[in-house]
Structure 1
Amino acid sequence: MFHVKHGPALTLGHMSLRLSTVILPHRRWNEGGRETWQRAEQLGFHTGYTYDHLSWRTFRDGPWFGAVPTLTGAAGVTDRLRLGTLVTSPNFRHPVTLAKELITLDDISGGRVTLGIGAGGTGFDATALGQDPWTPRERADRLAEFVPLLDRLLSEDSVSYEGDFYSAHEARNIPGCVQRPRLPFAVAATGPRGLKLAARHGQAWVTTGDPKLYENGTPEQSRQALRGQVDKLTDACAALGRDVNTLDKILLTGFTPDRDHPLESLDAFVDFAGRHRELGFTELVIHWPIPDSVFAADQKVFEQIAMEAPAQLS
């Protein structure tokens, strides 16, 4: 049994839908960074996530800060907001050192941390340590070893392990996580191997939709693809004897064909949220607006959605 602190949820019919935000780590802490996290809590978001990258796409040549230190700072200036990564990957992480950082963050935050974790991609992180980029199969191979080892490191006092990619020798993690038996994993996956990891080790599953539909797909095609992903997750859980309803299902918005539409107005968001609740999603994550970027949006509309959507979705 996992003991996790939860914030308020949006109730739609018989299901709850939580609303969270992702705050990119691109602002200096004393130049708006701190205030953004505090405002996220004031607005009532369930979780404030951040990207765990060394740099990211169009933000590569601008300010960008580390995820774990940012979340540690956020933990110190908030009380209720859950905190998490979307997502951490093996591209530049090792399970032994990551576990120690996560246990510390979970302690400082009073048990408010969720680890979003996935296989990573071919972006700047993939070669930042001087390695050649891994193929999709190689990334999946590493994730399949990374997640179970991290699970053990966060759950056991001492771990020794010798694998194909990662090793641990009497790695100590005392006193462990505040959340028991460990902090929750939100596993990002769409392929069969990743979905199996989500079914076995995850307390939540994360998707951004079908990337093949990003440029030329339609909202209906996107929802159909998401429905198919949920069905595959259901099958992966059934194969392990697990009820799929014991996993939260998280949609990180902004990467589907209707990526701009939900934040255009309160009504547009309520419609978007309702349609995705019907697919089985229990949490929607919207990007904190960043002017002159792919995440540009009207801040006032964004805050209106945060404050008024729950009432309209109840």
Structure 2
Amino acid sequence: MGMRLSTLILPVRRWSEGGREVWQRAEELGFHAAYTYDHLSWRSFRDTTWFGAVPTLTAAATATSRLRLGTLVTSPNFRHPVTLAKELLSLDDISGGRITLGIGAGTNGFDSTALGQEQWSPRERADRFGEFVPLLDKLLTQDVVTYEGTHYSADEARNIPGCVQRPRLPFAVAATGPRGLKLAARYGQAWVTTGDPKVSNGGGTSADSLVAIRGQAERLGKACAEVGRDAGELRKIMLSGFTPDRPLDSFDAFVDFAGAHAELGIDELVIHWPIADSLFEADLALFERIATEGLAQLGG
């Protein structure tokens, strides 16, 4: 099916001051999808402009007509499956069935305690994610759901008329640990990786990163086999920007990066829309050239 190229647009621009135009330009450039983070604030952008994911995607849905849209990723940090399901159902309707939900267990960071909660342990995070995803699946596929869990419950939660996309909008599950990979195997239409943070934070090389991602993909394959699923049914999405590579430094760097990841079975690459004076600084003209020509040499 060839590799697809998508982009990640951080919600850092006022809609009236370039916000709308960026999403429209992403569609013009031919990106498969444009995603945004679902955070209340994030790292170096903590004390600067930052808008909410769902209203931003709603506006993007009305400003575009073909581009797929979604979160990369939503987490339980400040979301509840019952309210999130209603918002996703509405987004899917407004966009005419163009929404993908990227979803992950989340990490400890600026918005992990934003509601005044204690920092969750890795185990509690995994426990919550293990309840969150199946409940969200139920809410988006059934008209009425009642469920009582340890962390999340629903009492006659109604989601009529259901998603435009049937049986529901696709889940792209971000996971590298055993419990998360099981959820991806069972509920995911796609799997998301950002590489291995141990490689990036530990001074690893691009080659080390490829080895780590290959290992992740193999573990995903095993998790799929355990639930009787063909791992080939899941798209494999790589959110770039968090490995030792610098794919937006030059056209050739991107082609090499894309080729190396295609060999691992990655079939959708996501590159961050450039933002000056940040981790995602890049030359816009080069970025646009990569968007339009970058995958041609791979037969994308």
State the TM-score bracket (shorter-chain normalisation).
over 0.9
Structure 2 match to 1:245: 232
Structure 2 match to 1:10: none
Structure 2 match to 1:279: 264
Structure 2 match to 1:82: 68
Match of 2:166, SS state, is coil
Cα distance per residue 1:124-172 (max 9 Å; x no partner) = 1111000011011110000000000000000000000000000100001
User: Post-superposition shift, 1:310?
Assistant: 3.1
Structure 1 match to 2:153: 167
User: Post-superposition shift, 1:311?
Assistant: 2.2
Q: Letter of the 2:226 partner, please give it.
A: A
Structure 1 match to 2:180: 194
Q: Does 1:269 align with 2:254?
A: yes
Structure 2 match to 1:145: 131
Pick aligned residue for 2:168 from 182, 187, 191: 182
User: Post-superposition shift, 1:97?
Assistant: 0.2
User: Post-superposition shift, 1:313?
Assistant: 2.0
Supply the distance in 2 between the matched residues of 1:252 and 1:123 (Cα, whole angstroms): 19
Cα distance per residue 1:231-265 (max 9 Å; x no partner) = 0000000001100000000000000011xx21112
Structure 1 match to 2:281: 296
Supply the distance in 2 between the matched residues of 1:106 and 1:170 (Cα, whole angstroms): 22
- Percent same amino acid among aligned pairs? 74
CA RMSD of aligned residues (A): 0.6
Supply the distance in 2 between the matched residues of 1:34 and 1:190 (Cα, whole angstroms): 34
Q: Letter of the 1:218 partner, please give it.
A: T
Supply the distance in 1 between the matched residues of 2:187 and 2:282 (Cα, whole angstroms): 35
TM-score, length-scaled by structure 2: 0.98
Match of 1:160, SS state, is strand
Structure 2 match to 1:305: 290
Write out the 4+ residue segments of structure 1 that deviate beyond 4 Å after TM superposition: none
Supply the distance in 1 between the matched residues of 2:296 and 2:229 (Cα, whole angstroms): 33
Match of 1:126, SS state, is coil
Show structure 2 runs of 5+ residues with no match. Answer: none
Match of 1:262, SS state, is coil
Aligned pairs, how many? Answer: 298
Check the 8 A contact 2:170/2:188 in 1, yes or no. Answer: yes
Match of 1:87, SS state, is strand
Match of 1:16, SS state, is coil
1:209-220 equivalent positions in 2, closer than 5 A: 209-215=195-201, 216-220=203-207
Supply the distance in 1 between the matched residues of 2:66 and 2:220 (Cα, whole angstroms): 30
Q: Letter of the 1:298 partner, please give it.
A: D
Q: Letter of the 2:116 partner, please give it.
A: G
Supply the distance in 1 between the matched residues of 2:178 and 2:295 (Cα, whole angstroms): 34
Supply the distance in 2 between the matched residues of 1:220 and 1:309 (Cα, whole angstroms): 21
Supply the distance in 2 between the matched residues of 1:240 and 1:157 (Cα, whole angstroms): 26
Supply the distance in 1 between the matched residues of 2:138 and 2:154 (Cα, whole angstroms): 11
Match of 2:2, SS state, is strand
Match of 2:146, SS state, is strand
Supply the distance in 2 between the matched residues of 1:230 and 1:274 (Cα, whole angstroms): 16
Pick aligned residue for 1:156 from 127, 142, 163: 142
Check the 8 A contact 2:92/2:169 in 1, yes or no. Answer: yes
Structure 1 match to 2:97: 111
Match of 1:83, SS state, is strand
Match of 1:263, SS state, is coil
Q: Letter of the 1:313 partner, please give it.
A: L
Supply the distance in 2 between the matched residues of 1:124 and 1:292 (Cα, whole angstroms): 20
Structure 2 match to 1:7: none
Supply the distance in 1 between the matched residues of 2:166 and 2:3 (Cα, whole angstroms): 24
Structure 1 match to 2:213: 226
